[in-house]
Structure 1
Amino acid sequence: MNNVVFGNHSALRVRRAERDRIRRFYRDVLGCEVGREFDDKDDIRVGDDFWISFLYERGNAREVDEGVTYASEDALSDDDFLKAIFLELKADDVDEMRRKIVDFGVRVLEVPDPHLYFQAPGGQVFRLVGTTEDLSRYEG
């Protein structure tokens, strides 16, 4: 039987108007590295080896992603992102990271769970947890 695992790359189609806010949030609040920057795409490294590409408009993404066509007009609305997927974001100091995230001005979601659920610039939803937290109650 074949097994699968999640890869270390993801991509989101987002509105170009969100570009500066996306960069500031991931770089300044979360401490991520903005890797490659193009007219229509940014690659941002989260942690040691996870990359999110933000696709801003129709374009050819230069030669790096040859043959790929991006269309931000195909991006989900912020409300639709709320229904799309929740991602888990881990932090060593959850209280400090929570403060930084909320102070940035993200949309905080009311979820019957003690964790912070929030919508980041660009629309994706995260749940903030501790790096050493026992999350086994969410499994199986």
Structure 2
Amino acid sequence: MAAVSIGNHAALRVNRIEREKVRTFYLDVLGGQLTRELDDKDDIRLGSDFYLALLYTRGDGATVDQGVSYAAEDALAEDDFLKAMFLELKADDVENTKRRIIASGVRVLNVPDPHLYFQAPGGQVFRLVGQDEDLSAYEGGRHD
């Protein structure tokens, strides 16, 4: 069987009215770099090789990324994001990152797990973990 892995690109649909809060969070709080800005889309690099497309509304981005609609009406309702996918956010300094994230005013979720789970501006839910943390307990055991 062929092995698969999650790639280093993701796209998130967010409401246009949240654009400044979303940018502040991903750029200022998490230290991302804005690599491209369009009327309907921001491309951000997190770390050395993870690329995040933030999709807002219809506009010029559809011509850059052929066949993709960035319609605001396609965005999920705020509470629906809590039912969607949890993403993992890795940090070298978990405690400092945790303080910055909480101080930014995000919604912290009560999850029975020692990690910080939070809803970022734009609605996505993340779990904060250490860069080199052993997460094998979340994999159903070790696969030696």
TM-score of the two chains, using structure 1 as the length reference: 0.94
1:136 aligns with 2:132: no
- Corresponding residue SS for 1:82: helix
Shift of 1:59: 2.6
Alpha-carbon contact 2:38-2:60 (below 8 Å) kept: no
- Which residue type is aligned with residue 86 of structure 1? F
Unpaired segments ≥5 residues, structure 1: none
Q: How does 1:51-90 map to 2 (within 5 A)?
A: 51-61=51-61, 63-90=63-90
Q: Are residues 62 and 136 of structure 1, via their aligned partners in 2, closer, same or farther at CA, if it must alter by over 3 Å?
A: closer
Q: Which consecutive residues of structure 2, in runs of 5 or more, have no partner in the other structure?
A: none
Q: CA deviation at 1:4?
A: 1.8
1:9-48 alignment to 2 at 5 Å?
9-48=9-48
Deviations 1:1-43 (A, max 9, x none): 3222211111111110111011111111100111100000001
Distance 1:5 1:60 in 2: 31
Greater Cα shift, 61-70 or 81-90: 61-70
Aligned alpha-carbon RMSD (Å) = 1.2
Aligned-partner SS, 2:4: coil
Q: Distance in 2 between matches of 1:19 and 1:63?
A: 20
Query: Does the aligned pair in 1 maintain the 2:62–2:69 contact within 8 Å?
Result: no
Indicate the larger mover: 129-138 or 95-104.
Answer: 129-138
Aligned residues: 140
112-121 or 72-81: bigger deviation: 72-81
User: Equivalent residue of 1:3, what SS?
Assistant: coil
Find the aligned partners of 1:26 and 1:93 in 2 and give their Cα distance. 17
When normalised by structure 2's length, the TM-score is 0.92
